[in-house]
Chains A and B, each alone.
Chain A
Amino acid sequence: MAAPAEPPALAAPVPASEPGSLSQWALIGRRFRHHRLAVASLFLLAVLYVLALGAEFFAPYSRDWRDLSHAYCPPQLPRYSWAHGLHVTALRVRIDPLTFKKSYVEDPADVIPLGFFVRGEPYRLWGWIPLERHFFGVKLEAPRRADGARPTFYFLGADEYGHDIFSRLIHGSRISLSVGLVAIAVTFMLGVTIGGISGYFGGAVDTLIQRVIEVVNAFPQIPLWLAFGAILPAEWPPLSTYFAITLVLSLLGWTGLARVVRGKILSLREEDYATAARLLGASHTRILFRHLLPGFTSHIIVVLTMSVPAMILGETSLSFLGLGLRAPIVSWGVMLQDCLSIQTVANYPWLLMPVVLIVLTVLSFNFLGDGLRDAADPYATK
């Protein structure tokens, strides 16, 4: 339902808020803006998705860039001084002569200047726009290290192989954040079609579909995911694995939506306007999609928003358990595989950064869904 355009033939100019011509979406938007937490969540999610979209640009390093000499390098907070501008000081490895424990010490004499929109590794944005500027990173004119390599900057530290965790978080968000959306798209199609048929035609079809939904819901999820994950051949290219994972996630996730759709259709199909449409000669598809579904699109959106976190968590759990995506693909779940041992976590807590992002994302989606639900029915009394 697009916002209705005013007919141009009108003599008197009609104000945009002519009574009764605000669409349902305008009313929902108005109410949604009162839900501060939801608006903040929406903003945060927008930032995360923009970061994911422009990952190559926003990440200081590429997905596979690494510097083995800086394995497990701790996070380096940028500092500011009049003399050097934005900078970090270089870290030198020091090996304890007694325990051989590696540690990093700052070398205040060695300043690495940082900047925004710096030249770095060349890359292709979205695979085809050749660029070499990064949002921020080490300035090109920074003095080279003794071994001739460019000085490094680990904003959130490094992992076992000297990968930059911050860069990998951004690259990984591309998979982790989109898996939810793709899975939701499949869930939406399955849920609306199956639920719609169930509610619209009723009778034996309805009974059959409802029993199938109960059986699907009765399956224990994790073992089933594991079974599906185990089926996926290891030699599949990353993209196929990715889509297979989303399919696995949504094959179990559509039942909730199907139930909502069925319930709503069951009540709406008895409305006179559905009968009226039928008497006008409208086809079943037209009645279902033009008359019945728009009556609760907002509810569908809410249910979908609320189930994105489950999808994201699903991908993370599968990848964490080693049955979903595998290296060299980077996702938040794949990154968490490094945290399987308590020693690693205790010594290098920055490896847990993906958890922070996952929690933030899931919370944001929940708050967003909450706000949308409150705003969904503009005619409901508070």
Chain B
Amino acid sequence: MKPDTPSPLLSVRGLTKHFPVLTPGFRRRQTGVIKAVDDVSFDLAPGESLGLVGESGCGKTTTARCLLRAIEPTAGVTLFRLPDGRTVDLARLSDRELKPVRQHAQMVFQDPFSSLNPRMTVRDIVGEPLVIHRLAQGADLDDRVSAMLARVGLRPEHRSRYPHAFSGGQRQRIGIARALIMRPSLIVCDEATSALDVSVQAQVLDLLKELQRDFGLTYLFVAHNLDVVRNFCDRVAVMRKGRIVELAATRDIFTAPQHPYTRILLSAVPSPDPDVKMNFNVGEELAKLDALTG
């Protein structure tokens, strides 16, 4: 963790996403809101990895998608520092203003099977960002795609294959290559390893770390697997019901959790040590916690 970094790469303040609840039928009156993301604030220092953890449905993925405007946030400010020193508010840019900014902030998706277009070859998938932003074409494009594929551990001659010919881990590498080919500074990993089996997970995490070193990347790492976060992230934010309940350095979170919810979450992780008793009462304790906090 770099506590006193003067200017953060990304600074999120009061990010909120509410989904209206509508009555079924023709008139579709609004009867309430679901607060998927509720007043979330955090800073991301350049070069750090921030883990975003929480139970299913706590709003981690929605937060990640709101940041990159895959979903329109209801409110909030997302200040993002561009490599040229300008700072823009991602949440408020128009589509046209947003397009050039997208070169610098990219996402790696959870599902390596649905995130790659099955009708496109690997060359087209990985090269597409360069085509969209008119950064390269022809032989130059081909060279950069090959170089990027080699960088993520794939063979350049795989370019002409279709995604269905690859394993889950290889597909995730293709997804990473697509996200990195424009040399962005911020990568949002939306559960990037949770669809992979454990040994492949480790390989992909190693690759991500290596790339972070080489390209000076900053990660927002959304995950529900606490072990992954513990090894990968500098700081961890714990989310519950759309809010961040605790945000601290990884070691502090795992050794001295402050918020009761963090403690419950940690106690639910099975430990390899047979003497450590696993907590089977998570549901009950959560109910108690809710009763306390109202």
Contacts and interface: CB of A to CB of B under 8 A. Distances in A.
Given A272-B114, A295-B118, A278 B129 contact: no
B73 to A, nearest CB: 15
A277 interface: yes
Contact of A7 (B106, B118, B160): B160
A276 B115 contact: yes
Nearest to B156: A7
Interface stretch (B78-86, B161-169, B275-283): B161-169
B132 A286 contact: yes
A113 to B, nearest CB: 58
A272 B142 contact: no
Nearest to B188: A279
Interface string A280-324: 111000100001001100000000000000000000000000000
Nearest to B70: A275
Contacts of B103: 281
A14 B157 CA distance: 10
Interface residues of B, number: 38
Given A1-B119, A10-B157, A291-B117, A282 B128 contact: yes
Nearest to A278: B70
Nearest to B119: A294
Given A272-B111, A273-B116, A294-B119, A4 B160 contact: yes
B102 interface: yes
Nearest to B103: A281
Interface residues of A, number: 29
A4 B164 contact: no
B55 to A, nearest CB: 22
Interface in A1-17: 1, 4-7, 10, 14
A21 B68 CA distance: 33
Contacts of B114: 271-273
Contacts of B156: 7
A6 B70 contact: no
B117 to A, nearest CB: 4
B70 to A, nearest CB: 5
Given A10-B157, A272-B111, A281-B129, A20 B178 contact: no
A226 to B, nearest CB: 37
A20 B103 CA distance: 30
A282 B68 CA distance: 14
B119 A277 contact: no
B161 A276 contact: no
A5 B114 CA distance: 25
Given A272-B111, A291-B117, A281 B160 contact: no
Given A281-B133, A282-B128, A295-B119, A5 B107 contact: no
A279 B106 CA distance: 7
8 contacts: A4-B160, A21-B162, A23-B162, A24-B162, A272-B114, A273-B116, A275-B70, A295-B119
Give 9 nearest A-B pairs by CB, closest first.
Answer: A20-B165, A4-B160, A272-B115, A20-B161, A281-B102, A273-B117, A272-B114, A281-B99, A294-B119
